[in-house]
Amino acid sequence: MVANRSSLFILVALCVFASVGISNAGGGGLRMNFYSKSCRQAEGIVKQIVQKRVQSNPAVAAKLVRLLFHDCFVRGCDASILLDTVGSNQAEKDARPNLSLAGFDVIDEIKIAVEQACPGNVSCADILTLSARDAVATLNPMAFYNVPTGRRDGVVSLISEVNGNIPGPNSDFTTLKNLFASKGLNVNDLVALSGAHTIGVAHCGTFSRRLFNFTGNGDADPSLDATYAQTLRSECPLPTNPSTTVEMDPGSSTKFDTSYFTILNQHKGLFQSDAALLTDSAAARIVNQLQKPSAFSSAFGRSMQKMSAIGVLVGNAGEIRKQCHFVN
């Protein structure tokens, strides 16, 4: 997962909650059916709205998954990515890697519906986490995974905490591995979560260096399939148009399947960070294993569960926001 649409990935700085309350790096305090008594229709409301939006526009799924990744990478899964800038305090969403994030309107629609049903009970953090799961499952029911709930919302969102916590599209394997490790994620998680690039699109600027000036001499990245590189150059000519996008998984960007791992072995991974997975023997073996649909679905679900439990606020920490864009 990668910054700027290219993105998707994950998790939390484990020691940044002093101003918020108690954080929980391991996800303890979350449980299945947390809202069974306080708002038993909550998960049904989330599912209904997400299914409607994804069925109407399959591109919404990638937006919701990416939104969760970028939230969890900074301060943990506390919905801090949803907070707007207030006064001179610039929020996370205004950081450069987050400027192309989308899907906020879906979360807002869900929050309004949930507040009408059960005022003050369901957190924006849980809505975001459930939405990402339901978006993937709408595209591929095999990819459904359980989501324990009970997260509370953070009250801090700082633009200064974003850089260095979200992997960029040009990251090498060592950088990716170390960043994931700092969030409590291993190589299995890195590869499985990279599989989210099977859906969605990327802006040309996030990978144009691979096409036109990889070493500074006007050359292409030799690890990129030459024919694919030529196709990309025709779709993303210089000067780069900031509004032009291409599929991250050619021909399969609205299907949550294993095509990403197949094209990766064909040296058609769009980002340098994708290609980096083949530079490590352990990661490359996992890439091969996850070409099996059942293996990918299981691995992705486990890693999403793990990711979405890091740095969560539970108990009396944080708050339940009335509106996802603002603290109470």
- Please state the residue numbers annotated as binding site for substrate: 167
HSE of 302 in the Cβ direction (CA atoms, 13 Å)? Answer: 14
> Backbone phi, then psi, for 149, in 5-degree steps?
-125, 180
Binding site for Ca(2+), residues?
71, 74, 76, 78, 80, 92, 198, 249, 257
Binding site, residues?
71, 74, 76, 78, 80, 92, 167, 197-198, 249, 257
Helix axes 124-139, 104-117, angle to 10 degrees: 120
Whole-angstrom CA distances from 117 to 51, 111, 149, 227, 315 are 19, 10, 18, 54, 22
Active-site option among 70, 203, 267, 325: 70
DSSP letter for 82, please.
Answer: G
Residue type, 98: N
Q: Which of 67, 100, 66, 97 is nearest to 82 (CA)?
A: 67
Beta bridge partners of residue 152, listed in sequence order: 313
Bridge-based pairing of strands 23-24 and 201-203 is unpaired
Whole-angstrom CA distances from 297 to 20, 53, 184, 289 are 35, 22, 21, 12
| Count of beta carbons in the 10 Å neighbourhood of residue 279 | 12
Q: Is 325 labeled as catalytic in the residue annotation?
A: no
Residues 6+ apart with CB under 8 A from 264: 274, 275, 277, 278, 287
Residues with catalytic function: 70
